[in-house]
Amino acid sequence: MALYSGPVMRFWLKKIYLCGITATPPHKDIHKTALGSTETVDWEYAENTMEVIEKLKEQNVIVAAIEQAENATMLNDFKPQPNQKYALVFGNEVKGVAQNVVSASDVILEIPQFGTKHSLNISVSCGVVVWDLFSKLGARG
């Protein structure tokens, strides 16, 4: 599970928290796809996602779980507040975001999907959500 907290870098990402069974640098698969990003974006490994969420909430960061869940807000309807920090929680490729993490989140965001397949690769989900928030907030500087 990866938990993203912004802003900075190209899309205003400040730090990436790699949680649970997520691979961490140096790892050959990460090195191959990150193309040096592990050297320019702060990251931290934490075994327990809930501890990271609690720490971020103490810092007044809004925690947003990216998940298909009851009472989720569709991403296109979400209106992020200027000058507010957000942490985006992306789940495991197979199991998604754990229920305790969803329950602890301040908001649940769902990427609208149409057709018969209702699942996106985690890297695609990250790209869609980060771009959406950047275009709504970050692009204004």
CATH number at residue 134: 3.40.1280.10
Note the pLDDT tens digit of each residue in 63-122: 999 999 989 999 999 999 988 899 999 987 778 899 999 999 999 999 998 877 677 877
- Number of structural domains found in the chain: 1
Decide which of 23 and 129 is more confident. Answer: 129
Range with top average pLDDT, 35-44, 69-78, 112-121, 129-138? 69-78
Q: Give the type of residue at 46.
A: A
Pair 20, 38: CB distance under 8 Å: no
Structural domain containing residue 118: 2-140
CA distances from 76 to 42, 55, 135 (A): 28, 28, 11
**Quick one: pLDDT band at residue 30, thresholds 50, 70, 90?**
low
Instruction: Please determine, for residue 3, whether its predicted confidence score (pLDDT) is greater than 50.
Output: no
